[in-house]
A and B are shown apart, each in its own frame.
Chain A
Amino acid sequence: GDSVTQMEGPVTLSEEAFLTINCTYTATGYPSLFWYVQYPGEGLQLLLKATKADDKGSNKGFEATYRKETTSFHLEKGSVQVSDSAVYFCALSYSGGGADGLTFGKGTHLIIQP
């Protein structure tokens, strides 16, 4: 079946450091890919998405490119802030995310120190 694998956390960085969180997937078809973020005490929020190969999703300084050849969707940010501390989930679905279930990775806990 389909699956998503993320790098294990926690990931601890200093403020203004460069961030990469790795995500790879296994899928039988051609899914859409997502990054969700879960801030402490809050629900999951969609951070960015890409619906086909070579698409780049971006939001709030975060970026991820859908790489079909490496089945990857790594999350990057050039300069992280303390407010970026949260748990980040990579996910996939076949309908853009709304008309079927999402398959999530286990999540990566990001801690940004001032």
Chain B
Amino acid sequence: DAGVTQSPTHLIKTRGQQVTLRCSPKSGHDTVSWYQQALGQGPQFIFQYYEEEERQRGNFPDRFSGHQFPNYSSELNVNALLLGDSALYLCASSHPGTGRIDRYEQYFGPGTRLTVT
């Protein structure tokens, strides 16, 4: 059973450019969350997608946008890149389902390391 996968592994972009990161959730999961982890910091919640819609959003500007496809995979797009956007971007999937709270666990992918120069 494949876990959460992300692509690419590493990415180098120039300030002002746009970037798209991709995530495939764990099999059976229908909810995808994105996090930004700056060096030496804890992950910060960007947004969450469920049923192809953004369900919840953290404190990030509109330059950060996303999409979820019918197969539950997701993309994170960042426009007008800033040096401060350099970070590890983590994707997590979950399956709220019904009933037992154990099903609410988020499973994380290995992340995409974005460097903005």
Contacts and interface: CB of A to CB of B under 8 A. Distances in A.
Interface of B is mostly: mixed
12 contacts: A32-B101, A36-B108, A96-B101, A97-B94, A97-B105, A98-B95, A100-B48, A101-B48, A104-B43, A106-B41, A107-B40, A107-B42
A59 B92 CA distance: 21
A95 B96 contact: yes
Interface of A is mostly: loop
Interface of B: 4, 31, 33, 35, 40-45, 47-48, 50, 56, 58, 90, 92, 94-96, 101-111
Interface stretch (A12-20, A40-48, A60-68, A78-86): A40-48
B42 A89 contact: yes
B94 A44 contact: no
A91 to B, nearest CB: 8
B45 A103 contact: yes
Interface residues of A, number: 25
B45 A102 contact: yes
Given A98-B104, A98-B106, A103-B45, 12 more contacts: A43-B4, A43-B108, A43-B110, A44-B92, A96-B104, A97-B104, A98-B105, A99-B94, A101-B48, A102-B33, A105-B42, A107-B40
Contacts of A32: 101
Nearest to B59: A1
A51 B44 CA distance: 21
Given A101-B58, A106-B40, A106-B42, A43 B101 contact: no
Nearest to B6: A43
A43 B104 contact: no
A46 B105 CA distance: 8
